[in-house]
Structure 1
């Protein structure tokens, strides 16, 4: 029997009830300060033409903090063409150090279920020696409580519903940081994508940016602007240079929590002939809650895309 991966982040990172979740995602899109100032906009023919945006970086915090940055990525990934399948490159917070995928089953959220693209999973398992089938990477204790892939899924469902199209997913948890392994993984995924000429596939890389604890939490604004912003700017500058090695290096110099996901997305893009890496949005949780007053913790949120 195929596994249904039940939500573990509903009620914590995003609302557990469908109506409230729908309203929350909509609010993140239309937010005029951090979002798009409008709802998700799909082209009239949202299945036409070649894919111009391979994929993007999307954060994975609570929606009240990071959701507006995710909205920018979803708009670009889905706006011109709604994919058949979304590969979600996930990091780990629970001590998983392999590269694992779920080969079959579905992921459930308050919006319902999204099926896993089993055919694509089988192709990748045949192609790659660094990827393994591992349901335990996503289900049960301790890895079933991991949120970073799950929080991407309601946004994908939101877009798929607007497009009135069935979309599948392929979750890949990347627990390795070695450059050679990541390069192999990226090339393997690119090879599988190149062989799927009749299937449109996009990629989301799940990562938050620098996690910063101000030394002066009563008056943290200058620290956040001068230290946290500059650390993240170094990563985003390397991203826009489309230099995956430099991006990985700069990200691992600070507390970015999905540098391997960002780097793998960039490697895939390079291998497939994509030419541009572009920043869409960046802000911190401190700025999202007002940007004034005390704060003992601030996290950066970045939206960026790989395109032709």
Structure 2
């Protein structure tokens, strides 16, 4: 069974297991969130010092329901490799400093056979958007497997159809990884991100790459959410100027629950 090694330990999060566990535990303790079990969550994917608090709100929300979650399907963008369509990896385990997390090979193989996704290890090799979710998922310590899917330039109808298929499977939670606007001055970024938040609240699946780097996954899910009659709840928002960056050139972060 092939093991996917961590690519961004020591960069996006600590590469020391004790330090990482302490950091994630503190992020969860500092960002409580309560509510019903969602169908899906949207989380950011910057370095944990930047966006970890916002992500922690979504993970705290699902924490009481871990016994009912057997699978998490993670959707996020391909930052480093041009990608058309959606891609899984050829691996059975994913290694981080906190240990290994199991990948749902059965579902992965099924989606490949049915033509929903391709296998593209190159796209996954150095990608951070899904890996930075793993320390939260490992520390929560549920009995779930994960299915990491990178979503390249893909029509929202195709992503929506994939979402519908996986969410028909009992015990499945969807995790959409996306940051918001990139590299604008603080006040301009806040204004841009408020407009994007309005679109998400309205389940508007016309979000652009300039608004959210994970827009292809997000738009596909929002299209599904509208057809399924879901509602969006904003759990938290900030940008890098609020956490660990200067305010001249910030990145926006949000977390959402969808019910």
Calculate the TM-score normalised by the size of structure 2.
Answer: 0.90
Compute the displacement of 1:86 (Å).
0.8
- In the TM superposition, what is the alpha-carbon distance from 1:130 to its structure 2 partner? 4.4
Work out the CA distance in 2 between the residues paired with 1:25 and 1:187. Answer: 33
Higher relative contact order (CA 8 A, sep 6+): 2
Query: Residue deviations 1:226-265, cap 9 Å, x none?
Result: x1111001111111112223xx2xx43x352111122223
Q: Is the 8 A contact 1:54 1:306 kept in 2?
A: yes
Query: Which residue, out of 179, 184, 189, partners 2:158?
Result: 184
CA shift in 2, pair 1:288/1:239, >3 Å: same
Give me the whole-angstrom Cα distance separating, in 1, the residues matched to 2:16 and 2:22: 10
- Partner of 1:86, secondary structure, is strand
Q: 2:137 aligns with which of 156, 171, 179?
A: 156
Unaligned runs of 5+ in 2: none
Aligned length in residues: 257
2:163 is paired with a residue of what secondary structure?
A: helix
For residues 295 and 279 of structure 1, the distance between their equivalents in structure 2, rounded to whole angstroms, comes to 23
The two structures, once aligned, show a CA RMSD in angstroms of: 2.2
Show the counterpart of 1:243: 204
Q: Which has the larger radius of gyration?
A: 1
The residue aligned with 1:56 is: 41
Q: Is the Cα–Cα contact under 8 Å of residues 158 and 220 in structure 2 kept in the other structure?
A: no
In the TM superposition, residue 104 of structure 1 has moved relative to its aligned partner by 4.1
| TM-score (normalizing by structure 1) | 0.77
- Corresponding residue to 1:304 among 253, 256, 259: 256
Structure 1 residue 8: deviation in Å? 1.1
Aligned residue in 2 for 1:66: 51
Correspondence for 2:146: 169
Label 1:12 to 1:104 Cα distance change in 2 as closer, same or farther (>3 A).
closer
Q: Which runs of 5+ in 1 are unaligned?
A: 44-50, 139-143, 215-223
